[in-house]
Structure 1
Amino acid sequence: MDDSKVAGGKVKKPGKRGRKPAKIDLKAKLERSRQSARECRARKKLRYQYLEELVSSRERAICALREELEMYKQWCMAMDQGKIPSEIKALLTGEEQSKSQQSSGRHVKAGKTDSNSNSCEYSPRGFLSRGLS
């Protein structure tokens, strides 16, 4: 016996290594490949639909924010000319009424009112209450 062919007490046979190729039905293999391709295309289609919906929702949000920004710009230009827009007057009178109701209804600590909270809403009330006007 040759030493190179003995490993761990077992005799190795010369030839190919690894698994022996099984007798795979070519038609079954082809059908599995086709099914896998169909599933891949379906997943890809769903992924693109999801991304398109995400993009359209973000575009709508951007448009809404641009409109809001334009409104604020117009308000600022009007105030620079010495005019107070009716929307701001309504917000200010509404804030004064709500503050008087809060102070009469419950004890409010100085500087800790609800209007001073750091909210992320983009309503005109939230914008003005943060002192960014």
Structure 2
Amino acid sequence: MDDNKMVAGKVKKPGKRGRKPAKIDLKAKLERSRQSARECRARKKLRYQYLEELVSSKERAICALREELEMYKQWCSAMDQGKIPSEIKALLTGDEQKMPQSGSSTKTSKNNKNNISSNGQG
């Protein structure tokens, strides 16, 4: 029993477990490796393209929000001076056709759509 080992009450036989290594052609193995590397580079390239598009879309959104913020700052400074901007007058009178499209008007229309669908209408 010198050659065999006792593990958890079982006798282990010496030798290798699992599959025996097959005689793989070295050229085939190298070609598979090259193909795998090509596929990896292609996946990496697609991933970077996706991330670059994502970054550029976020940058565009940031620019649009900055412009909107600047517009609101101008409105506030005008109101501090006692002037009411025409856009706010149009908003207060309910004439939304004169209003430039901004994030607040789209949120209002989305909320209206949600209210209609939650009431069971529409």
Q: TM-score, normalised by structure 2?
A: 0.68
Give the percent of matched residue pairs that are identical in Structure 1 and Structure 2: 80
- Structure 2: where are the runs of 5+ without partners? 96-101, 109-122
CA RMSD of aligned residues (A): 2.8
**Other-structure match for 1:41:** 41
Shift of 1:70: 0.2
Going from structure 1 to structure 2, the CA distance change for 1:82 and 1:42 (only over 3 Å counts) comes to same
> How many residues are aligned here?
97
Using the alignment, how far apart are the partners of 1:57 and 1:41 within structure 2? Answer: 24
Is residue 89 of structure 2 the alignment partner of residue 89 of structure 1? yes
Is residue 12 of structure 2 the alignment partner of residue 17 of structure 1? no
User: What does 1:1-133 align with in structure 2 at a 5 Å threshold?
Assistant: 3-6=1-4, 12=13, 17-18=16-17, 19-94=19-94, 122-123=103-104
Q: TM-score, normalised by structure 1?
A: 0.62
Displaced runs of 4 or more, over 2 A: 5-8, 16-22, 121-127
Shift of 1:21: 3.1
Higher relative contact order at CA 8 Å, sep ≥6: structure 1 or structure 2? 1
- Structure 1: where are the runs of 5+ without partners? 96-120, 128-133
Preserved contact between residue 79 and residue 85 of structure 1 (Cα < 8 Å): yes
